[in-house]
Chains A and B, each alone.
Chain A
Amino acid sequence: MTTTHPGATERTPVVPLPAGAARAATAVGALATAASTLLAWTWTPEFPGNLTISGYPGGLQVLTLTASLLTLLMTAASYHLPGLRWLLPTGSDNAVALLAAGTFATTWYTLVAISAELGGIVNLEPGGYAAGAASLLTLLAALGLPLDRRTRESLRVKVVPPSRDGGSGHAAALPSRLTYPGRLAAFLAARAYLAVSPRLSFTKRPLKAPAHLPAWGEILVVIAAYAAALGIFTYGIDTSYAELFAGFLLTAVFGVIALAQAGVLARLSAITAHQRPIAVAAAFAAAAAFPFTQSDDQYATIGVNILVFATVALGLNVVVGLAGLLDLGYVAFLGVGAYAAALVSGSPSSRFSSIHFPFWAAVLTGAAAAMVFGVLIGAPTLRLRGDYLAIVTLGFGEIFRIAVLNMDGSSGPQLTGGPNGIHDIPDLKILGFDFGQPHQLGGLSLGRFANYYLLMLLFTVFVVTVFSRASNSRIGRAWIAIREDETAALAMGINGFRLKLLAFALGAGLAGLAGTVQAHVTFTVVPEQYQFAGPVPPNSAFLLAAVVLGGMGTISGPLIGASLLYLIPAKFQFLQNYQLLGFGVALVLLMRFRPEGLIPNRRQQLEYHDDTLPGDTGGPTAATPEKDVVGLTQAGA
């Protein structure tokens, strides 16, 4: 048995197979899985998606087909086939194994879901069994590939096969009274455990030198990547039943991790950084194209809600991610913006129903009102640090909601309509364009929510611009300095209080901005929309979670975090009662395994994963320090 050092990586299979056979079996298994989706998996169309038609994959079968074809493609790339080199720049077989695992998970999830919903595995057609067997074969074969794994030295014990004449495999560990079959079983168990115990290693392998792409080639790659992202995102939003969304999540999660392991994502981000203006334009175009992919307004609603949520989360990222101020009452600023816009919208239930501001004026009113509230709340509270600030902002957030609830004319002055809120907020009309009416554009119909989606997108772009420009400036650096070490920042001539107040006010203003659109999208504003925690995002807890989950201090992090946090509860309606439980479990797991969030900030990635720094090459470096220590002590003695 070779000696390995703790934290070293090794390239061993989980299932002991010759590498060549494993690779071939993976390819065959993936092909067989793909073929099995052409068969009927169940006999009745009662299971959503209709998996009964042979030769025409439907619903979850499409996901299995996609995953298995991806596996096949990646396996082909691992054969170094010409033309597929771009798919596997790291050359790591982990990517193949992860895709095979994704195929397996999606397929078996489908089979289990069919059996559970229709009452027993009897409901599976032979095609279903074939799919299950083929995907299992693919996974086992892929686990026989030489995978990059992190060794756990402490678990390595010398395991020797036992012999019949009484010599035990491991004398110290196995009591001698065990009979031969017992010892054999213990040996096999130990071997199996040793094979499985090293974790898949996610340390970065160096990328192979990329083929030089001309500029137009890079642009095409960027456009294709964003088009693919739009396609995947649209598919996810449009999933019409929970099973399909669950399958989609499984496939997508495994697929993304596999692509990261393959090095495709790193390559892609390098190209994106190289073609920055094109990439930004392509991202905007992809986002703007979303409503045009929708045949009806049902899913555009989700789109506009995600955008509102994501925009507010990005505003919170100024406060939390840049300046490091933990604000637990942030949703109040969204509420201030929404109420301000509703009051001047000309709604008949508004206190000032005669006032009807044009939209630009309403936006300015909402943002200004939120900013004023931000300064009013920030001025006294920002003298506190850390946990105390979090508690006080939590309190102010609730004070806002309860105050609005009571300003109904009986408990307090009539301003907000109390629990009824302000309703019948009229639709926007900008330059004669009525947002409430569907419009035809180039043969495609844009419904009410699609209109608002496009409007909200402009606001999101504005907030993204503000965030990126502010963070990369003298002010942004001062915020980060305050977050890192406030005392040192003061000693560097930074007026800590003023800059914290500025961050608070800017964050509040951006939330107020989003609130003005939200008021018009939802027709009504009521206090219950602006809670600390509730089932429907945005609320303060979910906003903070979106920022932390996505990645603090980044732009794409909160956008992705907000999308996930909105979509998952919206699609899994049946989980309603357990939603917050699942949310808590997910947060705990995330903080355990990826404390820097899904999209790590360049800085935080270095902070939390020091062991992956260049120079940590495992074996040799682990040995040298010891040697040096010995040398030193000898010299000292």
Chain B
Amino acid sequence: MTTDTLTTPAGPGAPAPGTPLLQASGVTMRFGGLTAVNNVDLTVNTGEIIGLIGPNGAGKTTFFNCLTGLYVPTEGTVTYQGAVLPAKPFKVTQAGIARTFQNIRLFPNMTVLENVIVGRHCRTRQGLLSALLRGPGFRRSEAESRERAMELLAFVGLDGKADHLARNLPYGEQRKLEIARALASDPGLLLLDEPTAGMNPQETRVTEELIFAIRDQGVAVLVIEHDMRFIFNLCDRTAVLVQGQKLVEGDSATVQSDERVIAAYLGTPFEGAPGADEAAEVAAAEEHAAGAAAEPATGAASDGTTEDSAPRTTPASQEDPK
């Protein structure tokens, strides 16, 4: 029932579903000699949930920061609804991209409701003069902001805690509040940076439902996450970033079966001579241990490496007669 109130479109003039919303082409970010993001292309269409995965240090958050204007990409362009994004974070938010942070960044000493109302900042126009004069326009705008914020709090399930300080919320609710605050700016695209980090499976499920509900409001979502089950349940497409480069992009089956992705996460198995040699060594050691087990008096010195494979039938007391 609470979600009904959110059927109003997300973002000014959101285009029809399926059309490209965000287009990043050739985005490269260098810090001195380090290339954190290298020539990454990514397209997010309206109504889509896109996942972005990759091992730690792959450049996911850096790429996010390039999208949100926190960093200016060294090369490449990012367009949103066909227009190149400005290089200032607040202008990006104004254009319709909202984000959350990997390490929660709420306004800890403001109340939950105030946090969300701050999110309305770029969608309201009342300046200092209007605040000092307190005309009817000011009151209307305040009431509207408050009403919309309460709607969003109800949407994420925090309406009962509107007057709590944000810092006093439990971890999972802080994550939800960050999402509500981001939604308050009426975004067309929501960027979530590890929204389920530190959550238990139940909380992760709830977050999943929440993100689906957000998508159903017409907000496209781009999400960074390490939880593979979460990502593959959720996302229409997933892009894999490894060492700053996009390795593969596609639906969950494509990504899961891609050998390069598995290699990036688990490492490649050894092949060739060293592997064969080691296998032979292990086999020899096992044989030796088996032989030792058959001769209790001398076999007690069986080394630790074969402990598991060789059943030790020798009781410790039998070592003494020697």
Contacts and interface: CB of A to CB of B under 8 A. Distances in A.
Interface of A: 465-466, 469-470, 473-478, 480-481, 484-485, 487-496, 502, 506, 603-604, 606-607, 613
B110 A603 contact: yes
A494 B122 contact: yes
A496 B128 contact: no
A604 B96 CA distance: 33
B46 interface: no
Contacts of B127: 475
Contacts of B94: 493
A153 to B, nearest CB: 26
Closest A-B pairs by Cβ, 8 of them: A493-B122, A473-B131, A493-B93, A484-B107, A488-B105, A490-B89, A603-B109, A481-B118
Contact of A488 (B101, B134, B185): B101
Interface in B82-126: 88-90, 93-94, 98-99, 101, 105-110, 114, 117-124, 126
Most buried by B among A489, A491, A494, A506: A491
A490 B90 contact: yes
Given A506-B128, A606-B165, A494 B107 contact: no
B131 A474 contact: yes
B118 A487 contact: no
A474 B106 contact: no
Interface of B: 68, 70, 88-90, 93-94, 98-99, 101, 105-110, 114, 117-124, 126-128, 131-132, 134, 138, 141-142, 145, 165, 167-168, 181, 185
Nearest to B124: A474
Contacts of B107: 480-481, 484-485, 488-489
5 contacts: A470-B132, A487-B70, A490-B88, A491-B90, A493-B121
B126 A473 contact: yes
Contact of A489 (B99, B118, B123): B118
A606 B89 contact: no
Contacts of A480: 107, 109-110, 114
Contact of B168 (A469, A494, A604, A606): A606
B118 A478 contact: yes
B264 to A, nearest CB: 29
B110 A481 contact: yes
Contacts of B185: 492-493
Contacts of B114: 477, 480
Nearest to B122: A493
B188 to A, nearest CB: 13
A323 to B, nearest CB: 12
A481 B134 CA distance: 21
Contact of B109 (A487, A488, A496, A606): A606
A493 B132 CA distance: 22
A478 B121 contact: yes
Contacts of B122: 492-494
Nearest to B130: A473
A604 B106 CA distance: 16
Contacts of B70: 487, 490-491
A484 B110 contact: yes
A607 B134 CA distance: 30
B131 A604 contact: no
A493 B110 CA distance: 17
Contacts of A502: 128
B90 A607 contact: no
Nearest to B116: A492
Nearest to A553: B109
A492 B123 CA distance: 10
A494 B93 CA distance: 9
B128 A484 contact: no
B109 A477 contact: no
Given A473-B138, A473-B142, A480-B109, 4 more contacts: A484-B110, A488-B106, A492-B119, A496-B90
Nearest to B132: A469
Given A469-B131, A492-B181, A477 B138 contact: no
A385 to B, nearest CB: 15
A374 to B, nearest CB: 14
B121 A494 contact: yes
A474 B121 contact: yes
A476 B109 contact: no
A473 B138 CA distance: 9
A487 B131 contact: no
A475 B90 contact: no
Contacts of B90: 490-496
A469 B131 CA distance: 6
A245 B259 CA distance: 83
Contact of A470 (B119, B121, B128): B128
B109 A607 contact: yes
Given A475-B127, A480-B107, A466 B93 contact: no
B140 to A, nearest CB: 12
A140 to B, nearest CB: 42
A466 to B, nearest CB: 6
A488 B105 CA distance: 6
Contacts of A465: 132
A488 B119 CA distance: 10
Given A481-B110, A603-B110, A492 B121 contact: yes
Contacts of A485: 105-108
